[in-house]
Amino acid sequence: MIDRIGHRFVRPDLLEQALTHRSAGAPHNERLEFLGDALVNMIIAEALYAHWPQADEGALTRARAELVRESALAPIARTLELGARLTLGPGEMKSGGHRRDSILADALEAVVAAIYLDAGFETCRAAVLPWFDSAIAVLPPPHKVGKDAKTRLQEWLQGRQKPLPQYHLMDARGEDHERIFLVRCETTDPVAVAESEAGSRRAAEQLAAEQVLELLQASTRRAP
C-alpha cells in the first residue's frame, strides 16, 4: 500500500484518517478531502502550466477540470488499491461503497492532504504527480480540451456533411450498484463501428464514440 502511494508515512494515523469515510464515524476524512482538493488543483495547475507553455488560461482551466474530476480521480484510487483499505460504516459496506467513484475520489484527495501534512508540499507533489503522468501525456491539443468524444465525433462528421452517429444499448447487466452497460456506436458514411462497456450508459457511449472517431481519423490518414 505504501509503495503504491509512493510515500512512507511518519504519521500513519494521517493515512488511516484519510481512508476513513464519515459513515464509519469520527475522525473521518472530510476535512482532509477539503485540503486535498485544493492541493490536487494546485499540483495539476502547475504541471499543466509547464506542459503547455503556449496554452491560454481557458485551455489550462478546461484541462485541469478534466484531470481532477471525480471520474478521473476514481481510477487512480483504484490503481492505488484504496478501496480495499477504506474504513466504511455498515451501510456503505453493504452497498459497495468501496467501489463507488465519489467515495474513491474523495479518499484520494484526502490521501493527498495526508501526505502534505506528513511531509510538506514538495514531498506531496513528488508523490502525487506520477499518478497523473499518463493522463497528462495523452491530453488532446489545447484547443480540443473540454470537448468530449461524442461532441468531437459529431463535429468531425458535420464538418464533412456526413450523417450523425447512432448509439445503441446492447446489454446491461449486474446489480444496481455495479451495473455494466454495453453500447455500440456506428456511423454509416463512412462506415465505422465500435462497442464499449462502462459503469454508466453515458460513459460507455463516450468510450465507443472515441473508438469510432479514432477509426475514422485513421481511415482518413490512410486515404490517398
Q: Which pLDDT tens digit goes with each residue over 144-199?
A: 676 788 988 998 899 899 999 999 999 999 877 678 999 999 999 999 999 999 88
Residues of the chain with pLDDT under 70: 1-3, 143-144, 146, 177, 221-224
Strands (E), 43-165: none
3 is in an annotated binding site: no
- pLDDT of amino acid 221: 66
- pLDDT of amino acid 3: 66
- pLDDT of amino acid 199: 83
Per CATH, the number for 2-139 is: 1.10.1520.10
109 is in an annotated binding site: yes
Q: How far apart are CA 124 and CA 117, in angstroms?
A: 9
- pLDDT of amino acid 140: 78
197 is in an annotated binding site: no
Instruction: Judge whether 70 and 101 are in contact, CB under 8 Å.
Output: yes
Stated as kind and residue range, the H or E segment containing 193 is strand 191-198
Instruction: Judge whether 153 and 213 are in contact, CB under 8 Å.
Output: yes
The answer, yes or no, to whether the previous bond of 27 is cis (omega within 30 of 0) is yes
For 87, the grid coordinates are 474504513
Domain 149-222 in CATH 3.30.160.20? The answer is: yes
Sequence ranges of the domains in the chain: 2-139, 149-222
| Active-site annotation, residues | 37, 109
CA 154 centroid distance within chain: 23
CA 111 centroid distance within chain: 16
- pLDDT of amino acid 33: 96
